[in-house]
Structure 1
Amino acid sequence: MTSRYTLFLCALILAAFNLRPGITSISPVLQGITRDLGMSSTSASLLTSIPLLCIGFCSLFAGRLAHRYQSEKIITLFIGCIGIATFLRFFTNSPWYLLLTSLLIGAGIGIVSPLISGFIKRYFPTSVAPMIGVYSTSMVVGASISIGMTTPLQHWFHDSWKIGLGFWCVLALIAIPLWYTVIRHPYTAKQETVQTQPASLPLQNKQAWLLTSFVGIVILLFYCFTAWLPAIVEEKGYAASYAGMIGTISMIAQLPATLLLPVLLRVIPGRRFWITFFTLSEIAGLAVLCFTDITPIVASVCLGIGGGGLVSLTLLLPIDKTNSAMEASTWSAMTQAIGYMIGAIGPIVIGLLYDYTGSFVPTLYLLIAVGFVVIVLGWKLTQPESSQLEEQTVYQT
């Protein structure tokens, strides 16, 4: 049983490694992409927004696929899809080609992500919160490595951003053999009741809709600064290499929040407190960029801590509300489907505003206002009389 537990844990980590580099590796080389392919800021923003839209749309089908086929097989198949689309970036020759690879990567992430929630619910039923921490941290590590290494890879290979982007297909090559082993040796100690009908999305549940709205605004805020933080720092007069480093620091700063979230929830179980704390951290980072000349490192740390904590909570809350792996998958599918579609609007709006105004300052004002919306939604979501989120706070490690 110990060896199987280790197998499932490693599979979880390697799957998570594949869920961010296809999006985050774009940011460090965005200037080179726009220059070489002749893209405007608005069109370049689609390289982030299109994957988010695809994540949202494809999440709708994750539950049905998991019901019809073994969920582990579906996860393996779509990790392969992410790897193939990333590999195709070696051969980029036009904006449309690059956007197509972004679409395929988003589709793969959209299917895999909600099924991972069900995987955690099924295989780690007594340690959900710690496994969410492992899952979130692994995604952050994958994102941090891709942001930090894409530019050096570009320089090592004759200033080719195509190689810098395509290199990350190696993560899928590592993950797929391990997931094939999971398929051959599934966990059988805990069997769930077999369902004759696929679990439907909780479209009639008010809490599900409130949670979906919260997740959407959190994702919008997160991917706005993920996509545009280096460019914002460059506008303040810093070199491109320094701006890229700031993006990496922001990703690394997410690690404490994701790693320590289970511990933090045991110390202060209330979701409301941590939603407020992490959101105020993001607002503080945006305010530093907007209103001060303090080094952007301070802003990047605040944004990283806040973003990492909030995204981890969005992964935990659907599992909090459900009683089975299939139900967890459908709640995650709904929150991701609509939430990521909401989130996809953000980078496009930032690109449009920049093209129109020639400055990122108005966008920073907008993002600060969005931060306060997150707090309002979070407080409404965690009202004791209308939510069970704060009542289900005991997790065994």
Structure 2
Amino acid sequence: MATRYKLFFFALILASFNLRPGITSISPVLHGITDDLGMSSTSASLLTSIPLLCIGLCSLFAGRLANRYQSEKIIAIFIACIGIATFLRFFTNSPIYLLITALFIGAGIGIVSPLMSGFIKSYFPDKVPLMISMYSTSMVVGASIAIGLTTPIQHWYNDSWKIGLGFWSIFALMAVPLWFRVIRHPHTLKYKTAQQNRASLPIKNKQAWLLTSFVGIVILLFYCFAAWLPAIVEDKGYASSYAGLTGTISMIAQLPATLLLPLLLRAVPSRRFWITFFTLSEIIGLALLSFTNITPVVASICLGIGAGGLVSLTLLLPIDKTNSPIEASTWSAMTQAIGYMIGAVGPFIIGLLYDYTGSFLPTMYLLIGIGFIVIFLGWKLTEPSSKNVG
């Protein structure tokens, strides 16, 4: 039994590695892409916005697939989809081609992500906060490796950003064989009631809608930083290599928040406190970039700590508010479906405003205001009287 749970644990980790690099690997080589393919900032922003939109749309089908088929098989198939789409980036020859790969990567992430919540609740029911921490930490590690090594890989291979992007299909190559082993040794719970088997999106649940709004704005902030932080730093007059470094540091700074979240929640169980703390960290980072000349590394650390904590909480809250693995999957599907659609707007707006104004400063002010909305929604979501009243 211990060996089986090790298999499930490592399958979770390797699946998580695949859920960010297809998006975060774009930002370090964004200037090379726009120069080679003749893309504007607005069109380049679609390389982040399209996957987010696809994540949202495809998340709507994750719960249905989990009801109808073995969820482990679905996860394995769509990890393979992510890997194939990433591998095809080796052969990019036009903006449309690159955008199509982004679409399929987003579709794969959109199916896998909400199913992982049900997987955790099913396989690790007594260790949910710890497994959420491992899950979110693994995503951060995958994103950090991709954003940190894409440019070096590009330089190692004839300055080809295509190789820098396509290289990250290696994560799927590592994960898929392990998931085929999970399929042969499933631990999927058999739900005892027809009501559970018919579990659907909680569209009539006010708490689910409040959580969805919260998740959407958190995702919007996260991917605005992931897509544009290096460009924002470069626009302040720093070298491109330094700007790329700040993006990597921001990703690495997420690790303490994701790794230590179970300990933090044990010390201070209040979700409201940590939502406020992590959001203020992001607001401080934005303020440092906007109003001071302090090295952007400090701002990137603040942004990373805040983003890591908030994203981890968005993964935990649907599990907090549900009573079964399939219900956790459907809540996660709804929050991610609509949440990622909201999030997809952020990188596009930044690119559009930059093309229009020639400056990132207006968007920085906008993001600071959005940060205070996150705090407001977080407080409403964690009111003592808040209950799952599906």
User: So what's the TM-score if we normalise by structure 1?
Assistant: 0.96
2:62 aligns with 62
Check the 8 A contact 2:207/2:388 in 1, yes or no. Answer: no
Check the 8 A contact 2:117/2:319 in 1, yes or no. Answer: yes
Check the 8 A contact 1:4/1:187 in 2, yes or no. Answer: no
Per-residue deviation at 1:199? 1.1
Identical aligned pairs, as a percentage? 79
Measured in 2, the distance between the counterparts of 1:245 and 1:25 equals: 13
Check the 8 A contact 2:322/2:388 in 1, yes or no. Answer: no
Alignment of 1:171-182 (within 5 A): 171-182=171-182
Check the 8 A contact 2:321/2:387 in 1, yes or no. Answer: no
2:112 is the counterpart of 1:104:
no
Alignment of 1:66-105 (within 5 A): 66-105=66-105
1:235 aligns with 235
Measured in 2, the distance between the counterparts of 1:263 and 1:279 equals: 19
1:198 aligns with 198
Alignment of 1:1-397 (within 5 A): 1-187=1-187, 191-193=190-192, 195=194, 197-387=197-387
Task: Specify the SS of the correspondent of 2:334.
Answer: helix
Per-residue deviation at 1:387? 3.9
Measured in 1, the distance between the counterparts of 2:279 and 2:130 equals: 22
The AA in structure 1 aligned to 2:263 is V
Deviations 1:236-255 (A, max 9, x none): 11100110010000000000
Measured in 1, the distance between the counterparts of 2:363 and 2:194 equals: 47
Per-residue deviation at 1:195? 4.0
Measured in 2, the distance between the counterparts of 1:58 and 1:231 equals: 29
Measured in 2, the distance between the counterparts of 1:303 and 1:29 equals: 21
Measured in 2, the distance between the counterparts of 1:131 and 1:198 equals: 26
Per-residue deviation at 1:289? 0.3
Per-residue deviation at 1:191? 4.5
Measured in 2, the distance between the counterparts of 1:264 and 1:227 equals: 28
5+ long unaligned stretches in structure 1:
390-397
Per-residue deviation at 1:186? 1.2
Measured in 2, the distance between the counterparts of 1:386 and 1:64 equals: 27
Deviations 1:345-396 (A, max 9, x none): 000000010000000011100000000000010011111123479xxxxxxx
Check the 8 A contact 1:227/1:347 in 2, yes or no. Answer: yes
1:395 aligns with none
Per-residue deviation at 1:332? 0.1
Measured in 1, the distance between the counterparts of 2:280 and 2:93 equals: 42
Check the 8 A contact 2:50/2:103 in 1, yes or no. Answer: yes
Measured in 2, the distance between the counterparts of 1:192 and 1:139 equals: 29
Deviations 1:296-333 (A, max 9, x none): 01000000000000000000000001111100000000
Measured in 1, the distance between the counterparts of 2:68 and 2:338 equals: 23
Task: Specify the SS of the correspondent of 1:238.
Answer: coil
Measured in 1, the distance between the counterparts of 2:85 and 2:385 equals: 46
Measured in 2, the distance between the counterparts of 1:226 and 1:173 equals: 24
Q: Which moved more, 1:242-251 or 1:379-388?
A: 379-388
1:394 aligns with none
Check the 8 A contact 1:14/1:171 in 2, yes or no. Answer: yes
Measured in 2, the distance between the counterparts of 1:337 and 1:88 equals: 26
The AA in structure 2 aligned to 1:73 is K
5+ long unaligned stretches in structure 2:
none
The AA in structure 1 aligned to 2:259 is L
Per-residue deviation at 1:198? 3.1
Per-residue deviation at 1:67? 1.2
The count of corresponding residues between Structure 1 and Structure 2 is 388
Measured in 2, the distance between the counterparts of 1:358 and 1:318 equals: 40
- Please tell me the root mean square deviation across aligned C-alpha atoms, in Å: 1.1
Measured in 2, the distance between the counterparts of 1:218 and 1:173 equals: 30
Measured in 2, the distance between the counterparts of 1:222 and 1:109 equals: 16
Task: Specify the SS of the correspondent of 2:126.
Answer: coil
Per-residue deviation at 1:68? 1.1
Per-residue deviation at 1:269? 0.3
Measured in 2, the distance between the counterparts of 1:221 and 1:138 equals: 20
Measured in 2, the distance between the counterparts of 1:216 and 1:68 equals: 27
Measured in 2, the distance between the counterparts of 1:166 and 1:285 equals: 32
Per-residue deviation at 1:66? 1.1
Per-residue deviation at 1:258? 0.1
Task: Specify the SS of the correspondent of 1:60.
Answer: helix
Deviations 1:219-278 (A, max 9, x none): 001111110000000011110011001000000000000000010001000000000000
